[in-house]
Amino acid sequence: MAPVLPSGGSAAHVRVLPTYGDGTVPRGRARRFVRRHARRATHNGWVRTARPAPFRPRPDEHGTPLDVDELRSVTGEWFARTARPLPWRAADRTPWGVLVSEVMSQQTPVARVAPVWVEWMERWPDAAALAAAPTADVLRAWGSLGYPRRALRLQECARVVAEQHGGVVPEDEADLLALPGVGTYTAAAVVAFAFGRRSVVLDTNVRRVLARTVSGVALPAPSPTAAEAALAAAAAPEDDDAAALWAASSMELGAVVCTARAPRCDACPVAGLCAWRLAGYPDDEHASRRRSQGWAGTDRQVRGRVMGALRAADGHVPRARVLDLWPDRAQLDRCVASLVEDGLVEQTDDAYHLPA
């Protein structure tokens, strides 16, 4: 009988499935079982995965299960040879620097993040320094990374770390999750990359690597599923160092080789193990559900233009000048109002400015 683990927290109650004689789970039944029970598991508290059962991935077309130990080993060796020299990977990195890099990298390409991160850390090397900084300076330093509410949340996070944790980033995942702006992925990433401890790091890159190498599909579902979380938990090694290496190497593989639009399968170190390749590269089964939003004419573009004007100004910007930033008055007013509501912009009389 093969254990099937829904996602969760710390103790374990496990349901089992009948298997074939070689120990593999029937593909259709396994998929239906996990979909049906994984959501229930979180609600009913069946499973809280601190240490998962042995990894049992989908077999290839010959019925041979993928060797997850080999997958992790090959990926780790490739990472050791080719890892990008990102500044937050340096030997003198700090947990605070890692946390900052993770917040900045949410929905922003690493190439844009790296130079901003370097300047940011030179200016505010720890949580206490950022906590004491004027918010206007923080927003200006954030520059064009996008989604500037992240900058506000990062400063709120710095204040909590400074005031409640003595300026030291907590190591416990639950304590990290209690920080402003820190979600499940960020907390897990800090545990792995800052402290070298086991955690289940599941971002879009890791999801894609697991979807292709293990599940044999082109891309994961548009939104993360409980089954994916269970698979990621099962794939993570139990050893702290090995788990941290797997988190970093699988994420790197998805970022630079196993990309969404143009995967470099010819350069992939695990191409020989990839279930998607062995299946003949089937098309994306979720293609009809994916939506891509452009940039031109969106509220995001309008908000970015307003924020750019305010960042470039030394002080207040007259409303008349703000009105010249966009031709659609109704859309502009709506976007300015949303910026004020988000705490990114303040209004004084007939002018706007960044928060003090």
Report yes or no on 319 lying in a domain. Answer: yes
Of all residues in the chain, what percent carry a pLDDT higher than 90?
A: 76
pLDDT at 290: 66
> Closest by alpha carbon to 250, among 267, 264, 269?
269
Residue 53 pLDDT exceeds 90: no
pLDDT at 284: 92
Choose the weakest-confidence range: 13-27, 97-111, 209-223.
Answer: 13-27
Strand order in the sheet with 351-353: 317-318, 351-353, 346-348
CATH number at residue 303: 1.10.10
Helix (H) or strand (E) holding 3: strand 2-4
Residue 334 pLDDT exceeds 60: yes
* Average of per-residue pLDDT values in the chain: 85
Alpha-carbon torsion (171, 176, 181, 182), positive or negative: positive
Q: What is the DSSP string of 215-267?
A: I--SS--SS--HHHHHHHHHHS-SSHHHHHHHHHHHHHHHHHTS-SSS--GGG
pLDDT at 218: 96
The pLDDT tens digits for 227-249 are: 999 999 999 999 999 999 999 99
The active-site residue out of 61, 70, 77, 102 is 102
pLDDT at 282: 96
CA 22 to chain CA mean position, Å: 35
Report yes or no on 284 lying in a domain. Answer: no
**Upper half-sphere CA count for residue 256 (Cβ side, 13 Å):** 16
**Residue 138: exposed, middle, or buried by beta-carbon count in 10 A (0-12, 13-18, 19+)?**
buried
Contact 20, 59 (CB under 8 A): no
252 is catalytic: no
Domain of 310 in residue numbering reads as 299-353
Report yes or no on 312 lying in a domain. Answer: yes
pLDDT at 289: 75
Which amino acid would we find at residue 246?
Answer: W
Tokens of 314: 């030394």
The pLDDT tens digits for 285-333 are: 887 776 777 889 999 999 999 999 999 998 999 999 999 999 999 999 9
Report yes or no on 204 lying in a domain. Answer: no
Report yes or no on 242 lying in a domain. Answer: no
Report yes or no on 224 lying in a domain. Answer: no
How many structural domains is the chain composed of?
A: 1
Residue with token string 């994420």: 251
Report yes or no on 348 lying in a domain. Answer: yes
Residue 35 pLDDT exceeds 60: no
The pLDDT tens digits for 134-183 are: 999 999 999 989 999 999 999 999 999 999 999 999 999 999 999 999 99
pLDDT at 30: 39
Which amino acid would we find at residue 72?
Answer: R
Instruction: Centre a 10 Å sphere on the Cβ of residue 69 and count the other Cβ atoms it contains.
Output: 11
> Closest by alpha carbon to 132, among 124, 140, 122?
124
State the average pLDDT over residues 76-80. Answer: 98
Report yes or no on 249 lying in a domain. Answer: no
pLDDT at 165: 98
